[in-house]
Amino acid sequence: MTDSATTRPWDPKSEHLLRELAPQVLGVVARRFRDFSSAEDAVQEAMLAAFRQWPREGIPENPRGWLIRVASRRMTDTVRSEMARRQRETAMTTEEEPAIEPAENIEADMDPEDTLVFLFMCCHPALSTSSAIALTLRAVGGLTTAEIANAFMVPEATMAQRISRAKQSIKASKVPFRLPTPQERRERLPAALHVLYLIFSEGYASSIGAQLQRLDLAREGIRLTRGAKTLLPEDAEIAGLLSLMLLTNARRAARTGPHEELIPLDKQDRGLWDRDEIAEGLDLLSLALSKGAVGLYQLQAAIAAVHDEAARPEDTDWPQILALYELLQRVVPSPMVTLNHAIAIAMVHGPERGLERLRALDSDERLAGHYRLDAVRGHLFEKLGDFEKAVHHYRTAAAGTTSIPEQNYLMTQAARLEEDRRQLKNSSPGPESRL
């Protein structure tokens, strides 16, 4: 590049800067060439070029301008070869070249809201969830195809194809390239937040041992949600979602042991919880709650906050958690919420009442036979002191889960209870001695 007269050295924060620029550069290029799909490919190539060049040669004085120029050049090449192909096919000759020379005043083309435009576009309901996640990470998050493929443990070619198909769906659905109207925004925000939530939870749930070398999707989810919050500062649900992510992520170091085993909330070393993340999550939450209209993410964040605020498990304010689950059940009823509601009932009113609540789920087709139902039953029967039933349910749950760490956890729970049961038998003449 000839334009890098002044450069700054590359440092660990630069990667962040580069990724933040991706959707902004995409906005300029897509608008200029009126082609989102090709522009998105061109920006990806510019990003790859920057990742190769900047760490070695330093960051150009105007990194945004650099990226726009490289992406535009790529677009020009694409357009020229496309024109040449068409001319060959139609045997037409024309001197006319498309007006594609990059304007000098690129800053005037900038629109910070582009990031939001792309977020809504990538999370469009026309896309399948997995496509929306992949495209959001690339177009809005500025990640490379290789990084995304690695995060989901699929081959890079598969991920590239998934992204390209996602863009075809966007084209076919004729989503206009503009900021949705306030009305559209209200309708489509839940889908966009859901995609951000899934990016986070995919990262959080799989951030165990071996997977630590993968790209940290939980961090990416937090970063993208933070970006969305800056652009829509008045939205209480975005703030609620960011708060939920932070309050959950704060416990990450404590949720697994040295052998990658899962550690439940009440057994975690709370000293390992990230105090800064908790503080930020709590601040965001109180701000969000003060805005009125309480939604799904704010309520879940509020529940996470109650857990995070307890210095010891026995200090947990379960009556408040119970009240929050009751509210959650009214706002977004679902069998998973009922399941957690049952745990809260058990903590406040005793395990029998919790088990009673679970019985309502047996007839719910969405959850009947689901291993989570057995896992919770195992837990509640254990609390009740019925170890035999608890062991049975833990093992049934272990056979049903598709997560190896969770399977190991549930099998170990069953084995531990059997040990306790044997010891109880050896140390006492009969079961009545338990009373």
Partner 1 sequence: MKYILMMNTMRAGAGVPTWPRADLQAHITFMHGLNRDLRESGELVSAEGLSFPDQARLVRAGKDGVSVTDGVFPESKEFLAGFWIIDVDTPERAYAIAARVSAAPGPGGNPLNMPIEVRPVMSAPPPEML
For binding to partner 1 (CB under 8 A), which residues are involved?
209-210, 259-261, 395, 398-400, 402, 404, 407-408, 411-412, 414-416, 418-419
Q: List b or e across 80-112, with b for residues whose CB sees 16 or more CB atoms inside 10 angstroms.
A: eeeeeeeeeeeeeeeeeeeeeebeeebeebeee
> Which of 332, 404 has the CB closer to partner 1?
404
> Which of 43, 375 has the CB closer to partner 1?
375
> Which of 345, 397 has the CB closer to partner 1?
397
Q: List b or e across 209-231, with b for residues whose CB sees 16 or more CB atoms inside 10 angstroms.
A: eebeeebbbbbbbbbbbebbbeb
- The angle subtended at Cα 309 by Cα 304 and Cα 312, nearest 5°, is 110
Structure tokens at 226: 């933070």
Nearest-approach distance from CB 396 to partner 1, in angstroms: 8
Nearest-approach distance from CB 230 to partner 1, in angstroms: 38
169 exposure class (CB count in 10 Å sphere: 0-12, 13-18, 19+): middle
In terms of Cα–Cα distance, which of 181, 178, 186, 134 is closest to 159? 134
User: CA–CA separation, 189 vs 240, rounded Å?
Assistant: 13
> Which of 325, 394 has the CB closer to partner 1?
394
> Which of 138, 395 has the CB closer to partner 1?
395
User: CA–CA separation, 381 vs 387, rounded Å?
Assistant: 7
Nearest-approach distance from CB 22 to partner 1, in angstroms: 30
Q: Residue 126 gets which letter from DSSP?
A: T
> Which of 113, 202 has the CB closer to partner 1?
202
For helices 236-249 and 217-231, angle between their N-to-C axes, nearest 10 degrees: 150
Task: Give the C-alpha distances (Å, rounded to integers) separating 362 from 329, 358, 381.
Answer: 17, 7, 16
Nearest-approach distance from CB 402 to partner 1, in angstroms: 6
Nearest-approach distance from CB 319 to partner 1, in angstroms: 34
Nearest-approach distance from CB 378 to partner 1, in angstroms: 12
> Which of 54, 409 has the CB closer to partner 1?
409
Nearest-approach distance from CB 372 to partner 1, in angstroms: 15
* Site of tokens 């966007």: 170
